Structure formats: C-alpha cells, structure tokens
Structure 1
C-alpha cells in the first residue's frame, strides 16, 4: 500500500521520537548528520523555488493584462495580507499564554552526538536577491515582446516542480525524523508536543473564522446570501481535504462556483483557475501562526512586530505562484523564514512538519475562499468584465 505524505510525516515523527528516547549517541550522530545535510540541501534549492514561482507567475500576466486581471490579483493579495494580519494579532495575544516556560531556551537540553561530517554547499544567491531577480525577469517577460524569456521562465518552473515532487517532498519525512530525533534527545519534545497540538487547533479554528469573514464581506459587497455561497463551495472544501492541492481541486471549485446564484460563468472561468494558482489566504494564515509559534519556541521570544510586518508583506508576494503545488507554499516560505525571522534548520524543520500535517485544511481554506473572491469580482465585472479586460 502506497502511503501519502501525511502518514509518512507522522511515521517519521514517531520514529524520530523513539530514536531520540532510546538510541545510543552514535545513532544520534547519524541523524544529526542527516539533519545538517538535508537542511543544507533544502536551503540550496530555496532561492530557485522562490525565483521559479514568482517569475513564472508574473510572466504569465502578459497575455491576460487588463482591468479584470489587475483587480483579481490585487484582491487576492489584499485578502491574503488581511488573513495574515488577523493571524498575527491572534498569535501575539493567544500563543504566549500556552507557551509560558515551555520554550527550548527554558529547557536544560542534554548533550547529544555531533554530526560525523558537515558538507557545506551554500545557495547560489540569497533569498532577497532571488526575489528581486524574479520580479525583474517576470516583469521583463510580461511587458516585453520576447517569448524566449517567458518560455525559459515557464520551463524553469516546470523543472523546479519536478524537483519538488520527485526529490524534496520525498526526503522531507527523513528530514523531519532527524529533527524530532534531536529535539527528543535534548529533552525538548515534551513541551513542544503540547504547544503544537494547541497551535494546530488554533489554526483550524482561525481558518474557519476567516472563511466566515471572507464570505460575509463578499456577500455584503455583492449583495448575496453568504450561506448559499458557502454551501455552493462546500464540495470543493471537502475535495481539497483529500487532494491537498488547489490545482487538483480546481475542476471541482470551478463547477461549484458556477452554481453560486447570479455568478457570471465567464467570470468564474477566468478567476477560479487564476485563484487556484495565486490565492493562498489559508496557507498564509497557517504559516504566520506557525512562524510566530516556532519563533517563540526556538528563539525564546516573540518576533519583533516590524519583522512580522515585513514577513507578511513579502509572504504575500512569495506565495503568489506556489498555491498549485502540494507543499509548495511552505517550501517557498522557508527562505524568508530564514532571512527575515532568522530560523535555523530546527526551526525550518518544525515549520515543514507543522504545515504539512495541516496542509489539507490550509488548501481547503484557499480553494473555498476562491468562491468568495469570485463573488466580489463578479459584482464589479459580471456580464461585462471579460469583454473589457
């Protein structure tokens, strides 16, 4: 029987905890070697992931330029930023209350085996350089007449998609195993598991709250019934729980969006496929909460508010092209977690584990929210937008 990613992650976490509890130090040294090696390997690919996703998503705008596209993309970005802001405010108010005196810095960690060898292969560029270069190349492809640049960017994104699906995703459970082995061996696991359980409950509750806000505001703007609109998108939510992919769920969400009363089918045909690839409010909300939690646990303090503001602004840009790839959202975010919030391999590994475990709920929130945004777009462009765009 072929196991899915979440079962593999859970197995990796369990095996890592068992190894950390009972294995001798030389075994711990092996897992620490794996942690450092795989951590360096993932960090090597991060700039390429950011460049591929962002550059390709901007380059694709050239054939669809117009008021409808500009409005739709801007609405998606604003929606994501608001979701992140609500998540950040909630995290600052709630998370410190159930983390008190349970951070890694409060635990007298045991000495564990050192890695047998550390192989360094630094990334070819830093994170912000990759982001700026992606924006420049993407804009050049979208504004200019060169099909070559656009095709190269698109093909490079396809290559990175293959790297993610065939290489990075398969090794993540092993990386998580190594991370949790070290955490357990140091005596930090007991406090972390309680915190993570509460955090996951908070994430799912806030995702449902955000969907309520999205559909309420969208229905108010579009003068529609929010309950009818949400009911129409419910099959897409359930489907996304199983697929964990906005792209794979898109046919269902497109069909369901067209059942929303007064929805212009041309608008649905345009915005739903678009939002399946750029709208990431559910994932962004999750990443914001997880980042603040992991920062407190590993660094011993809340991130400065100015850094969280920068993180949220950049996060909305980075996630633009990552929504359609399973696990793409968190992989694209690892770079800014490292460069802006200062996460090390342990912090990045915890973010991977936490995000992947709830990925189906984040994806379901993304894809269901697409229907709410479609309502707003339909309000301003229905029955006329596709012709003027």
Structure 2
C-alpha cells in the first residue's frame, strides 16, 4: 500500500528524530550533506516556480470577462492580505510567549559534523527578478495578441508542475528527515515540539476565526444570513478535510455554493473554479504565522515589521499564481522566505514540515472561504452577467488549493 505525502512526511520527521538522538558523527555528516544538497536543489527551482506560476496566471486573466474577473481577482488578493495582517498582528503578540527564549543554535561540526561535500549550483536569477519578469511577461501575454508567449509560459508552468509532482514533493520527506536529524542531534527538539504544537493550534483557531469573519462580512454585504451560507458550505469543508485537494472537492464546493439561497448559479460557476486557483487565505494565514515563529526560533527575535509588511504584500501575489498546484503555495513561498526574511535551509525545511502537517485544515479553509467571496461577487454582479460573457473569459480552471 502506497503511503500518502503526510504519512511519509511524518515518517521522515520521526526517523530524523530517532537517528539524530543516536547517530554517530559520521552519520550526521551524511545527513548534513543531504540537507545542503537538497536545500540547494530546491532553491535552484524556486525562481522557475515563481516565474512560471505568476506569468501563466496573469497571462490567463484576459480582459474578455471584464469587470467581473477584475473584481474577483482583486477581492481575492485583498481578502488574503487582510487575513495575513490579522495573523501577523496575532503572532507578534503571542509567538514570543510560545517560544519563551528557545532558539536553534548555530550548526557546528563538533555537534553534528560537516557536510562531506558541497555542490554549488546557484539559481539562474534571484527571486525578485523572477517575480518582476513574470509580471512583465504575463501582462504582455494578457494585453497583447501574442499567443506564442501565452502558450510558452503555460507550457513552462506544466513542466514545472511535473517537476514539483514527480521530484520536489517526493524528496521533501527526505529533506525533512535530514533537517530533524540535525535538530535532534543538537538537543533542541523538546523545546521545538512544544512551540510547534502551540503554533499549529493557533493556526487552526485563526483559520476558523477568519472563516467566521469572511462569512460575517459577506453576509452583511450581500444582505443574507451568513449562518445559512456556512451551513450550505459545510459539506465542502468536511470533504476538503478528507481529500486535502480542492480538485477532488470542486464538485462538492460548486454544488454547495449553488444551494446558498441568494446565489446566482452563473456567478457560482464562474467564481468557485477561479477562486480555487487564486484564493488561498488558509495557506496564507499558515505561512505568515509559521514564518514569524520560525524566524524567532532560528534568529532569536521577531522579524522587523517592515519586512513582514513586504513579505505579506509579495506573498499575496505569489499565492495568486501558485494556488493551483499541489504544494505550490509553500514551495513558491520558499523564495520570498529566503530573499525577504533571510531563511536558511533549516528555516525552509521547518516551513515545509509545518505547512504540510496542517495542510488538511488549510485546504478546507481555502475552499470554504471561496463561498464567502462568491457571495460578495454575487451582490454586485448576480443576475447581471449572461452566460456568454462568463464563458468568453475562457477560464477553464480546476486545481489543488494548497
């Protein structure tokens, strides 16, 4: 029987802890070699992930659907940014108390051994260059009549998607194993587990609070009962919890959105598949809280507020393009964690582990929140958009909201 990603991740984590406790110096040197190699390999692909996802996402946003499309995309981005801001403020208040002086010490050869060999293969471009170039290329493909560019970026995204599914996701448990061998060998595990346990509980609570806020605001704007809307979308939340896949949940979420009494079915047909690919509030909350926690643990202090503001603004853009690929959200975010917050391989590995462990709750929050956005869009565009106009947008979108 094949193990899923989460069991493999947990297995890698547990084995890493056990090996780290009992491993001799030569064995930790081998795991350090693996950590450095896989860390360099992941960082090599990050600019390609950001460029291909963002460029292809913008290229697909053609103007034929007009104000409806622009409004939905803008609403998704604003929703994500506000959610991240709430998560950041809460984290700045609570996380220092969770950490309570605990931090990871610098790696030393005497503690866990040095890598046997280090192979350097630097990325072809830095993160911000990839982001800016993606926006420029994506806009050129969207505004002009260059079908060649649009096709090229879409095919590049398909290639990177295959790389993620067939290579990067499978090696993540190995990377996590190597990370936790080092953490365990340095005797820093017990404090980290307590901190991460509290942080994961905070993430789940914040996701539920954000869903309540989303539906309360949506109910007020749409002049409808938010409790009725939540009740309608509850089967989608439960399904997403079980599948951890918005693609598998899409038939349920679309069907349930249409059962909301005030919902125009044509609006639901347009908004729900689109938001499955561009709206990741649950993932954004997780990444913001996790980034602040890991930053305190690895650097010994809260990141400057100015850096977190930049991180949140860029995170919203990155998640808009990366939401449609399984694991794409966290993998694309590794780039800005490295370039903006200065995370090293240990920090990036911890982010991968924390994100994957809570993925079932994040996916459920993402897909359920789409219903709240559909309610708001319906308030302004319901009964006003004919089927032809929506279909002309050529938004054939389904995907994993991870």
TM class, shorter-length: over 0.9
Q: Partners of 2:67 and 2:180 in 1: how far apart?
A: 49
Query: Deviation per CA, 1:362-382, whole angstroms, max 9, x where unpaired?
Result: 111000000000000000000
- Per-residue deviation at 1:71? 0.5
| Structure-2 change in CA distance of 1:31 and 1:107 (3 Å) | closer
Structure 1 match to 2:178: 178
CA contact (8 A) 1:247 1:325 kept: no
Structure 2 match to 1:323: 323
Q: Partners of 2:64 and 2:386 in 1: how far apart?
A: 10
- Identify unmatched segments of 5+ residues in structure 1: none
- Per-residue deviation at 1:203? 0.2
- Per-residue deviation at 1:106? 9.9
Range 86-95 or range 249-258, more displaced: 249-258
SS at match of 2:325: coil
Range 327-336 or range 99-108, more displaced: 99-108
- Per-residue deviation at 1:238? 1.2
The number of residue pairs the alignment matches comes to: 389
SS at match of 1:263: coil
Q: Partners of 2:158 and 2:17 in 1: how far apart?
A: 36
Structure 1 match to 2:384: 384
Alignment of structure 1 residues 114-133 onto 2, 5 Å: 114-133=114-133
Structure 2 match to 1:341: 341
- Per-residue deviation at 1:241? 1.4
Q: Partners of 2:200 and 2:244 in 1: how far apart?
A: 17
- Per-residue deviation at 1:108? 10
Q: Partners of 2:301 and 2:106 in 1: how far apart?
A: 11
Structure 1 match to 2:400: none
Q: Partners of 1:148 and 1:179 in 2: how far apart?
A: 42
TM-score, normalising length: structure 2: 0.94
Alignment of structure 1 residues 36-115 onto 2, 5 Å: 36-62=36-62, 64-105=64-105, 111-115=111-115
Q: Partners of 1:236 and 1:250 in 2: how far apart?
A: 8
Structure 1 position 243 matched with structure 2 position 243 = yes
CA contact (8 A) 2:101 2:300 kept: no
Structure 1 match to 2:197: 197
CA contact (8 A) 1:127 1:335 kept: yes
Q: Partners of 1:166 and 1:243 in 2: how far apart?
A: 20
Q: Partners of 2:243 and 2:134 in 1: how far apart?
A: 29
Q: Partners of 1:209 and 1:88 in 2: how far apart?
A: 14
- Identify unmatched segments of 5+ residues in structure 2: 391-402
CA contact (8 A) 1:236 1:364 kept: yes
CA contact (8 A) 1:36 1:345 kept: yes
Alignment of structure 1 residues 260-339 onto 2, 5 Å: 260-339=260-339
SS at match of 1:343: coil
Structure 1 position 370 matched with structure 2 position 370 = yes
CA contact (8 A) 2:17 2:180 kept: yes
CA contact (8 A) 1:109 1:187 kept: no
Q: Partners of 1:24 and 1:38 in 2: how far apart?
A: 21
Structure 2 match to 1:10: 10
Please report the RMSD computed on the Cα atoms of aligned residues, expressed in angstroms: 1.5
Q: Partners of 1:107 and 1:27 in 2: how far apart?
A: 15
Structure 2 match to 1:141: 141
Q: Partners of 1:47 and 1:169 in 2: how far apart?
A: 17
Q: Partners of 2:337 and 2:301 in 1: how far apart?
A: 15
SS at match of 2:330: helix
Structure 1 match to 2:399: none
Q: Partners of 2:108 and 2:118 in 1: how far apart?
A: 25
CA contact (8 A) 2:80 2:316 kept: yes
Query: Deviation per CA, 1:229-280, whole angstroms, max 9, x where unpaired?
Result: 0111111111111222223322211111111112101100111110000001
Structure 1 position 259 matched with structure 2 position 259 = yes
Query: Deviation per CA, 1:158-207, whole angstroms, max 9, x where unpaired?
Result: 11111100000000000000000001111111111110000000000000
- Per-residue deviation at 1:105? 4.2
